[in-house]
Amino acid sequence: MAHQKEATNRVEWKIRVADGSSKDLVPESGPAGRAWLGIQGLIAGLVLKVGRCFKKAWDLAVDDPRKVIHCLKVGTALTVVSLFYYTRPLYEGLGRNAMWGVMTAVVVFENTVGATLSKSLNRACGTLLAGSLAVGVHWIASQSGEKLEPFVNGASVFLLASAATFSRFIPTVRTRFDYGALVFILTFSLISISGYRVEKLLKMAHQRLSTIAIGGFMCILISILVCPIWAGKELHLLITRNMDKLAYSLDEYFNNSGIPVEKSQGYKCVLNSKAAEETMANFARWEPAHGHFKFKHPWRQYLKVGASMRRCAYCIEALNGCINSENQVPESIKQHLSGNCLRLGSVSSSVIRELAITMRTMKKSPRTQNLLKEMKNSVQELHNELGSLPNLLLPPPSIEATLPLEEVIPIATVASLLIEVAARIEGIVSATEELASLAKFKPAVERIAPH
């Protein structure tokens, strides 16, 4: 914002300078002069805006070069398909249906392999289903006489389009076959209004399907062979990264070990990644085996792990609020509790970090259960510590010296919330362990020698 303001100030300043000098030098500083200056200002503003836009785009490209690679892949796919049809012999053979190949390539090519596969298969199935239905209806319509024909056609379009549109509201269809339903409606109505005889229609259908198949196949090939981005792998990485971020957040609160603030705010990423996780899990189901992931990898379980992490993040967020409002706790109590809070915070983050290692190596870590036990012990110790606080509050000789309980409450709240965070971390552990057993992770080789 500050940058933008400065820039517009500079423009205004330029305009004023120009305005001042024009009065001295050029006689025509009337409405025409002012309009000219206005246009100059507009152009300068536009140039600045475009410049900022390019800067943003550049940052985006540097931040994730795979995006640039994806763009080049799309460009290549389109050019290949275009040139394929541009060479005359093929072009003559397939006629104007060539455009369907290009259209398929444009619409179907997505960022991840799973999305491309999902769209291609949806397009193929939708086209086939609608095509065969439409040819049937077309035949019925052509048999029913010239007067009735438009009505039969109109009614069939109305009914099937309405039904297919409704199906898009059904959750299963919405998440997996939405594009197929759209293509179904499109193909059916296009064939219905085409007005061809059935024989010609069959020939056209054959041509169109083959071009669509070539276009789709080209996209799938390029998206798998050239620097593929797998939705499944991305989901796996996202969950692993989010675990690291949660661990960082906990560390920062209880260690103050100089981790920069942006990193400690990592739990906010966890709070907001639900939509991304669902999209990726949905696309991952379409993908073949790749890397360490088999075809029927339990992608749905990743959503459960993600949900358990979000539950933990809610609690850290509340903890964040309490820490920020905590200010008047006597230093003695803070120190008394902070030892145990520190220990619980650090062992909690170790548990999450160990889970992240399990995910990263795809091997069951033998240390997780030990760390979990350690965490439970820390929780018990913190409980005991909280119970022994009254002794601190009451210096033995006189009751009058009692510290008001109010001053203990904030730090006790933090401790309680930390205990709740630990309970939710157990949820993450069990979700991750279920994932490990579903995905048949192998046990890791012990990193420390047994003796």
Shortest Å distance, C-beta 4 to its own copies: 14
Based on CB atoms, which residue is closest to its own copies, 291 or 321?
321
Shortest Å distance, C-beta 402 to its own copies: 6
Based on CB atoms, which residue is closest to its own copies, 263 or 274?
274
d(CA 219, CA 221): 5
d(CA 231, CA 277): 10
Shortest Å distance, C-beta 442 to its own copies: 31
Based on CB atoms, which residue is closest to its own copies, 318 or 342?
318
Based on CB atoms, which residue is closest to its own copies, 23 or 66?
66
Shortest Å distance, C-beta 158 to its own copies: 4
Based on CB atoms, which residue is closest to its own copies, 361 or 384?
384
Based on CB atoms, which residue is closest to its own copies, 81 or 124?
81
d(CA 167, CA 46): 45
Estimate to the nearest angstrom the gap between the alpha carbon of 380 and the chain centroid: 38
3-state secondary structure at position 315? helix
Based on CB atoms, which residue is closest to its own copies, 106 or 444?
106
Shortest Å distance, C-beta 162 to its own copies: 4
Which residue blocks in 285-366 are alpha helix, DSSP H?
A: 299-325, 331-361
Cα end-to-end distance, the chain, whole Å: 61
3-state secondary structure at position 115? helix
d(CA 259, CA 107): 44
Based on CB atoms, which residue is closest to its own copies, 162 or 370?
162
d(CA 411, CA 386): 10
Shortest Å distance, C-beta 37 to its own copies: 28
Shortest Å distance, C-beta 58 to its own copies: 11
Nearest alpha carbon to residue 244 among 262, 270, 272 = 270
Based on CB atoms, which residue is closest to its own copies, 97 or 358?
97
Shortest Å distance, C-beta 403 to its own copies: 8
Of how many residues is the chain composed?
451
In this structure, the strands spanning 363-364 and 442-443 are parallel
Shortest Å distance, C-beta 89 to its own copies: 13
Buried b (16+ CB within 10 A) or exposed e, 240-277: bbbbbbbbbbbbbbbeeeeeeeeebebbbbbeebeeeb
Shortest Å distance, C-beta 134 to its own copies: 12
d(CA 309, CA 348): 13
Residue 102: partners with Cβ closer than 8 Å, 6 or more residues away: 78, 81, 82, 85, 215
Q: Residue 371: is it exposed, middle or buried by C-beta count within 10 angstroms (0-12/13-18/19+)?
A: buried
Based on CB atoms, which residue is closest to its own copies, 312 or 356?
312
Residue 285: partners with Cβ closer than 8 Å, 6 or more residues away: 114, 176, 299
Nearest alpha carbon to residue 202 among 102, 101, 131 = 131
